[in-house]
Amino acid sequence: MARARLSPTMVRLVVAVFVLQIASSVAAIAFLRTQMLDVVGADRVRQVIDVRDDLLAAFYDGGREELDDFVAQRRGRSADPLVFVAVTGRNPPLLGNVLTVPHIATPNRIVHVSIVRGRQQPLHGGIALATDLSDGTQLVVGALTDRERRLDLAFAEAIGLTILVAVAFAMASALFLGVTISRRTHAIAETAAALASGDFAARVPVEQTGDGFDHLRLQMNQMAERIDQLVAQLRSVSGALAHDLQSPVARLTASIDTALAKAQDHAAIEALQAARMDADALRAMLATALDISRLEGGTVADRRRPIDLAETAADLVDLYEPLAEQSGATLAGTFAPVTVLADRELVSRAIANVIDNALKYGGRDISVTTRAVPGWGEVAISDNGPGIAQEDRARAVERFTRLDNARTRPGGGLGLAMVAAVAKLHGGSFELSGEDGLVATLRLPRI
């Protein structure tokens, strides 16, 4: 299953999306508030101007008496309870719907004022427009803006609630986006890791979403298919080459044997013997390469039977113990009985290859251990030699790979590749580990 955890990069992406969503929501709400207040303010200014024009028309038509009657009777649009009117500059001033009005020094301009509408009432905010009349008085027309302030407060409360809801939805959507992207990218990354480890049958699950990820998955699978075909062709070619070279090598060995039988000169005999040893090594290498190709292709006969892994490992320790003593090494074993389903001959060759590898390149103390773990039987061969660097361990089990410390020793770089092929054929695994020295562990299905 693809991992759904958020990496630091995905966390930054989630936070960025979240911040952008919140910022866009706040900007949209602030813009809407500003537009609303501008519209309401413009309507209020227009209302003041319209009332002022009505009063001026009354003054021009009937003089001060008509204006006084218009104000006192609150006719027309001046009847709005939010509208107040005053005629100042005379004693006493004429007031309509207002108790006091401050003097306005700048006529014909909308200004903000504070007024008192009645006794024991608080100050009210409003806007007012003053117009100087021809008789020396001043006509003041205004409207209260308390309702706009209450509307602004209500809108602010709505904005707060909206932001809370937006934060919740933005966080949820950002997390969903981050988890979705993380899950899809991890699925692709895990398939790439499987391909890198040699599992060329790995494919990315296709979801048919039609998005960029679906295109990436399709291209990834096509690439994996092509790699699988190329590797299969390479294995086929190497297997065919190893098979075809067996006959020429056999003829070469026969020719060397014939020459050895007829040679009289001591130097010629030594040269032919060296050539025979190289021919035998080449023949063994070709046979091993052919066996690996058959194992990897699954063309070997199924000879798996329940075997005691401890007994098989102990037989090989007994077999290699004299060779270890001859090379100055100590070969010991600790065997816990464990039954596995395996081909005894192939498992024996695999264990022998690992022991032989330890004798060639490992330290002086070599240990073979068998144990039972849940679902598996393991045989581990460890030594106290220089080991294999962490970055080289994956290459060490590939065919024809020889590390720098092995290039001066005889061999074809096929021993550990053979072990890996045997493990894969049995549905098990083979891994290299260890800090001081090397531990090679062959894991097989337990019964």
> Chain-wide mean pLDDT for the chain?
81
Torsion-angle region of residue 127: left (phi > 0), alpha (psi -120 to 50) or beta? beta
Please report which residue ranges of 197-308 form alpha helices under DSSP H: 212-262, 266-297
Write the CATH number for 390. 3.30.565.10
Contact yes or no for 121/131 (Cβ under 8 A): no
Last residue in a domain, options 115, 150, 185: 150
Question: Quick one: 293 and 419 in the same domain?
Answer: no
Residue 398, token pair as written in the block: 């590939």
413: pLDDT confidence band, cut at 50, 70 and 90? low
- Quote the CA–CA distance of 108 and 100 in Å, as a whole number: 20
Condensed to tens digits (0 to 9), the pLDDT of residues 157-209 reads: 777 777 787 777 767 776 777 777 777 787 888 888 877 766 777 888 777 76
Q: Which domain holds residue 84?
A: 10-150
If you ran DSSP here, which 8-state letter would residue 127 be given? E
2: pLDDT confidence band, cut at 50, 70 and 90? very low
Q: Whose CA is closest to 87, among 111, 107, 67?
A: 67
pLDDT above 90: percentage of residues in the chain = 25
Q: Which of 33-37, 38-42, 410-414, 415-419 has the lowest mean pLDDT?
A: 410-414
Give ∠ CA 135-138-141 in degrees, rounded to 5: 135
| pLDDT recorded at residue 241 | 62
Whether 164 is in a domain gets the answer: no
Whether 172 is in a domain gets the answer: no
Whether 123 is in a domain gets the answer: yes
Question: Quick one: 327 and 242 in the same domain?
Answer: no
Last residue in a domain, options 270, 297, 324: 297
Question: Quick one: 310 and 421 in the same domain?
Answer: yes
Residue 12, token pair as written in the block: 């930054």
Residue with tokens 């699988």: 228
Single pTM value for the model:
0.44
Taking each helix axis as running N to C, give the angle between helix 266-297 and helix 212-262, from 0 to 180 degrees, rounded to the nearest 10: 150
Mean pLDDT, residues 220-236? 76
- Quote the CA–CA distance of 316 and 77 in Å, as a whole number: 113
Q: Which of 23-37, 209-223, 293-307 has the lowest mean pLDDT?
A: 293-307
- Quote the CA–CA distance of 65 and 94 in Å, as a whole number: 12
Return the higher-pLDDT residue of 33 and 267: 267
- Quote the CA–CA distance of 12 and 9 in Å, as a whole number: 5
Question: Quick one: 54 and 36 in the same domain?
Answer: yes
Return the higher-pLDDT residue of 28 and 132: 132
Does residue 293 carry a pLDDT above 60?
Answer: yes
Beta bridge partner(s), residue 113: 126
Mean pLDDT, residues 395-405? 65
Question: Quick one: 386 and 428 in the same domain?
Answer: yes
Coil, strand or helix: which one is 249? helix
Question: Quick one: 293 and 323 in the same domain?
Answer: no
411: pLDDT confidence band, cut at 50, 70 and 90? very low
| pLDDT recorded at residue 335 | 96
Does residue 408 carry a pLDDT above 50?
Answer: no
Does residue 368 carry a pLDDT above 90?
Answer: yes
- Quote the CA–CA distance of 110 and 48 in Å, as a whole number: 9
Last residue in a domain, options 272, 297, 322: 297
Whether 27 is in a domain gets the answer: yes
Contact yes or no for 358/377 (Cβ under 8 A): no
Q: Which of 4-18, 268-282, 417-431 has the lowest mean pLDDT?
A: 4-18
Query: Distances from the Cα of 350 to the Cαs of 2, 35, 110, 316, 437, in angstroms?
Result: 34, 81, 99, 11, 20
Does residue 3 carry a pLDDT above 50?
Answer: no
Query: How many domains is the chain partitioned into structurally?
Result: 3
Mean pLDDT, residues 409-416? 61
